[in-house]
Structure 1
Amino acid sequence: MLPAAIWISMVGLAISRSSPNYLGNHFTVENESEEVRSEAIKRLLEVFGMEDPPATLVRGHKQPPQYMLDLYNTVADVDGVTKDPTLLEGNTVRSFFNKLHSEQIEFLFNLSTVAKSEKILTAELHLFKLRPQESLTFTRHHFCQVSVYQVLDSSKKNVSQGKKLLSSRLVPIHSTGWEVFTITQAVRSCMSDEGRNLGLLVTVRTLAGVQTDLKTVRFTSGRNHHHSKQPMLVLFTDDGRQAGFLEGTPKGSDDSPVGPSLPFPRLPLPSANRRITRSHDYDESIEKMPCQRLPLYVDFEEIGWSGWIVSPRGYNAYHCKGSCPFPLGQNMRPTNHATVQSIINALKLTKGIETPCCVPDKLFSINLLYFDDDENVVLKQYDDMVAGSCGCH
């Protein structure tokens, strides 16, 4: 119910601006409206695990990696709703571009945007291998040994004491395409001690152990090649939100959370008189229809977030509305508690007992693909963002 509560507060802001009383109380309402909008945006950022929206990006100058776009399309539908919660390892995937320009096959990735609390599940180095130059096509070697090292000492990286082997395997010399190396332990050590993040070094040798010419086996550097072939580090992490979010959360009959456990206070609407009027209208509409799921579209462009969110452009959060009259039928998906409460209310056995409420009894997660402050592309999964179905509780 959290996204719906926040979005309704923002709708309240729009209503306040079109009210006949707006011109008469221009300065008061305008200031109040800005405060409500600011508070609403702040709360919405908290839902997405951010303090401030990314501000450094100028969209159009940077394109997301094809790998991240493909991954997003694999785990999410067109509205960002998760297709299968088991498809993604953890709840966050980050891609980092190389920050180092070197004559060697050397890379450095800035990991400062990763929170210390995030658990590193898997770290992968993605390198795009080019074909050998034409003049070297008929080399007698068919395979080479590609090794990835963690640099321990920048002054000794070309000797064994200055580097640590992370991954090594045979690669066909005449192949082209992405080569992926798992370097999880090295990234974990860099996260625990920033001083260890001195970069990665890649060496290419023949099967006899002789270092090959850089023109024979070539990997893109990110400087002189298309952005879609830039080397990158991909981290699969878990930020721990899921465990904390579900803790103490009420469960429905299918063990799906029926609401958020975050203690967000209710946002004030611009006018007490308007609040009373809207509440009266809402009560009348509840009496006219049974509990059901209705659309509630969240448009990121209207919020002002289209500059840093890649996908989706918005999503349908849905909301639950309607009455839960006695007797409750199975089509209203009532819990046993709701059924008993409905009976007590109908028989007037206890004063002050209301009818059950129409609320989400199944919630789905959505995925957000966006640029962070360092222009890295992040794929993040957020639980309990879409009302999948409604019931009487």
Structure 2
Amino acid sequence: MTDTSDARPVDGEAEARADAPRRGLLRRVMRYVPLIAPVLLWAVPCWVLLFAGQHWPLPVTLAGTALFALGLVVMPLAMARGHGRRQQDRAAIVGATLLGASWVLFTWSVLLGVLLRLALTVAGVGEGQDRARIVTWAVLGVTAVLLVWGYAEARRVPRVRRLDVQLPRLGAGLDGTRVALITDTHYGPLDRARWSERVCETVNSLDADLVCHTGDIADGTAERRRAQALPLGTVRATRARVYVTGNHEYYSEAQGWVDLMDELGWEPLRNRHLLLERGGDTLVVAGVDDVTAESSGVAGHGAHLAGALDGADPELPVLLLAHQPKFVDRAAAAGIDLQLSGHTHGGQIWPFHHLVGLDQPALAGLSRHGTRTQLYTSRGTGFWGPPFRVFAPSEITLLVLRAP
């Protein structure tokens, strides 16, 4: 079964060069996002809901304006206190929740503020003030429904996504090998120890030969999030449990997470590989540090594919763990058979996936890159920051490897 949803093919180095201007543009835009985004997120809904022809009573207009102004002030302050030096979990929860809520409100203020108003005008429904007020209530109603649903989606145990992946070089003895993938668990300010236990129970029910975690275990140090991560020690695999670092590990003492995963019985594949043998055939299972590792300043960390494959027979098929999909450029150049990644969260809150697509070659699902390499990008098992998932469901993935 081949799933190419939300994915775009990449053709080796030529495509990588073509992507360079796009990624350069993203970096330039991102410099100004912290300054411009909060203003837009709160000012646009304020205008659409209060000042676009509604003519609300003065107390309503003043109270609504004050509420939006409060959100504009509180959100960045809470984010700074939650993710800065103080690392205050309650502030992080408030800031992240406001960020997610304002994004949903902004999105639907723009969409319904234009499309619904136009539809009402064409249909001849109401006069100017009536149309404006219909738009206001529609925006508030849609936003409320999506936030409640999105919160439930973020907090539930992910559904299992199953698919077969054919690897032309896979030996018949390895046909049917079951690979379970979890990623981006992002244990954080909201205590999800019980959720973590249930995720691990679900993984154990899959009877996997190989269980993989492709990084972003948590937001915070291993010592701080240890209680939420401990259930990972209960995960079972008939052959191996393997792990690679994500970019968030490098925000919070990456080596501490490597050491904890090793303590819990997982094999940290830091630019190295192991061999999975069955029925007389062999699969190389390799892993690399996240692409941000080298610039993080953490001694001894960096993404080195050549080191990960050092000593492996080049005729054997290779399964590679790399946190970010964009590492597939290097994987394709090296002839890797299958890369497993996370990082994108599938966009997490629609339509954020359009911004993710500026930086990554694939958003979710199975895609082909170059002549041999396939990439599976998970939408992630947990969530980052805002406790919402809107039109981007989380997943635990079971990939069944198939020989020709």
Q: Give the structure with the higher percent strand.
A: 1
> Of the two, which has the highest radius of gyration?
1
TM norm. shorter chain > 0.5: no
Q: Give the structure with the higher percent helix.
A: 2
TM range (shorter): under 0.3
Q: TM-score, normalised by structure 1?
A: 0.23
Q: TM-score, normalised by structure 2?
A: 0.23
